[in-house]
Amino acid sequence: MVEGRTRPAWVEVDLDALRHNVALLAQRVAPAALCAVVKADAYGHGAVPVARAAIGAGAAGLAVALVDEGVELREAGIEAPVLLLSEPPADAADMVVRAGLAATVTSRGGVDALAHAARRVGTRVRVHVKVDTGMHRIGVAPGAAAALVAAVADEPALALEAVWTHLAVADGTAADDRTFTVLQLETFDKVVAGLPARPQVLHAANTAGAVAWTAARYDMVRTGIGMYGLAPGPDLVADGDSGPFLARLRPVLSLRARVSAVRELDAAERPSYGRRRPLPERGVVATVPLGYADGVRRGLFDGGCEVLVGGRRCPLAGTITMDQLMVDCGPDAAVAPGDEVTLIGRQGSDEVTAAQWASMLGTIGYEVLCGIGPRVPRVVVGGPAGRKP
């Protein structure tokens, strides 16, 4: 078996697909460098194996959201550049310095905390100054950016490596979205033009910006969702040459389990909590050991979710429970305990995608991937760092 020993359910992470995506994206954005975003445990795929595969496929560096995420990579022996995408808390500055992370700063307090930590350790810290050009999440205001950049440049314990920003609607194709992205890039360019010297690195593009906005690529792009084989949004899939390009990406994650129990039930029986739907005819109902505690959300039942069993699409038979779900396999189905069930991924000639789940749930593919819980074991397959089941 490829799954965990105590539970027949697992996430399959295909590193061959990930390497393919990284190489494809790197080719798209060249000569800009590609920074692989591996925050949130690499969007639920497993930060350490994904980081290693991404660097091996041509990524110039890695990006994380939390100090602990960067430390995890260092403790695994990964020596590639790692960028912390948010300003670290002052009491975590020593950890940033000792782990050799590049740190984002957005305030004078952040500059001072990192400088003090660097002097205590006896080293210099690489710093990226983030400018808020309209996302309004974190970042120094454009009018205050020059002073913050100067504070970093004037501090001997710090090394100014980059100035950057983040695009809010680069995946949008509506006129208002495109106008706002242009405005963000113009604001960023004005900030850079007002600096005494151009920083070594400028970066602004997420996956959407990297794919659809040539002007946003600068010296480096930060690719997250595209690296994992999903489009940043449905509008971009249908826009210009972005759609054909995004269609060449390969999904990296599959969610699979094995049937744990089978029973034959009469028509009009109502399985699961709430007895919400009668079976349309007598048939086989299979129990699968995954539930909403694992990220298989209850709303999928209302959304008409189907899973793949024996290469056939089968609907859910009732409300998803915390640890298990039930599948209506139909009359006379040849289904037995131990048979593989694919919830996300390909089985035979058919495929269920995270984007389809997102549509049913009224959310985005990012949330679907990140929502698959940690108690579902990750199994790495593909290439020299993995194995095929």
The pLDDT tens digits of the residues spanning 279-321 come to 999 999 999 999 999 999 999 999 999 999 999 999 999 999 9
The angle subtended at Cα 148 by Cα 143 and Cα 153, nearest 5°, is 135
Domain with CATH 3.20.20.10 in the chain: 15-233
pLDDT in tens, 337-377: 999 999 999 999 999 999 999 999 999 999 999 999 999 99
Q: Is 43 a catalytic residue?
A: no
Residues of the chain with CATH 2.40.37.10: 253-381
130 belongs to the catalytic site? no
User: What's the confidence (pLDDT) of residue 388?
Assistant: 36
The mean pLDDT value of the chain amounts to 95
The model carries a pTM of: 0.94
Tokens of 259: 């049937």
Token couple for 58 = 């041509």
Whether 389 shows a pLDDT value over 70: the answer reads: no
Q: Could you say which of 39, 43, 130, 366 is catalytic?
A: 39
Determine the pLDDT at residue 135: 97
User: Per-residue pLDDT for 200 more than 70?
Assistant: yes
Q: Torsion over CA of 217, 220, 225 and 228, rounded to 10 degrees?
A: 120
Confidence of residue 386 (pLDDT cuts 50, 70, 90): very low
What is residue 3's predicted lDDT score, i.e. its pLDDT? 55
What pLDDT does residue 384 have? 60
Cα separation, 135 vs 153, whole angstroms = 25
Reference 286, options 262, 258, 318, 319; nearest CA is 262
pLDDT reading at 2 higher than 80: no
Q: How many CB atoms lie within 10 A of CB 200?
A: 12
Q: Residue 242: its pLDDT value, please?
A: 83
Catalytic residue among 43, 130, 190, 273: 273
The residue among 229, 326, 267 whose CA lies nearest residue 24 is: 229
| Domain 15-233 CATH class label | alpha beta
Rounded to whole angstroms, the maximal C-alpha distance in the chain is 77
Superfamily of domain 253-381: Lyase, Ornithine Decarboxylase; Chain A, domain 1 (2.40.37.10)
| Range with lowest mean pLDDT among 3-12, 219-228, 321-330 | 3-12
Per residue in 101-145, pLDDT tens?
A: 999 999 999 999 999 999 999 999 999 999 999 999 999 999 999
What is the pLDDT at residue 4?
A: 57
Confidence of residue 5 (pLDDT cuts 50, 70, 90): low
- Residue 174: pLDDT over 80: yes
Report whether the peptide linkage leading into residue 31 is cis, meaning its omega lies within 30 degrees of zero.
yes
What residues have CB less than 8 Å from 241, skipping those under 6 apart? none
